[in-house]
Amino acid sequence: MSGLLLSGNVRVNAAVPAADCVAAHARAHASSVPAEDSAASAPESASAQQLFAECALHRYGVSAASRVEACGNDLASLPVILLYRVDGLSRSQALADLQREGALSDGSEYAQRAPAMLSFAYQGAAAGKGQGAAWIERRVVEWTDLCLAGRLRFSNQR
């Protein structure tokens, strides 16, 4: 589902430092996906993560170093959670689906971060009709900015 970020056309307020980093990751990831029926190789995916990390450290400084990996991982999982809102599900329906899938009970970093992502997904106005992809891109940049700046809190930080 991270394909929603593959457009390479992340158009958000350029004043948000994370915008460049999300766009760089999206471009690198898009260029590394060889075909729809095959996965990108590990070195190519690592390249997208490395570009993201370099950009994040440049934009946010060394104080962001401990958050870069987790924030980069969110680039794949947050769009999936945002889709619940775009698809018109209520927050309680989205939460029930995540629980049904066991996504919140396995003790993983995702299980710890997903409730905050879900809360974030339902803050503010929803996407306008036909604006789902752009809304998701904008919200991913907003989340990534909060994440890299250290303004997100989770029950069990890395």
pLDDT tens digit at each of 158 positions of the chain: 333 333 444 444 556 889 999 998 888 878 776 655 455 455 656 788 899 999 999 999 999 999 999 999 999 999 999 999 999 999 999 999 999 999 899 889 999 999 999 999 999 999 999 999 999 999 999 999 999 999 998 754 44
- pTM of the entire structure? 0.81
Q: Could you tell me if 140 and 132 are in contact, meaning their C-beta atoms sit under 8 angstroms apart? A: no
Instruction: Give the pLDDT confidence score for residue 10 in this predicted structure.
Output: 42
Dihedral angle over CA of 26, 94, 99, 147, nearest 10: 40
Please state, in angstroms and rounded to a whole number, the distance separating the CA atoms of residues 41 and 12. Answer: 29
Q: Which two tokens stand for residue 131?
A: 């604006």
112: left (phi over 0), alpha (psi -120 to 50) or beta: alpha
Q: Could you tell me if 5 and 29 are in contact, meaning their C-beta atoms sit under 8 angstroms apart? A: yes
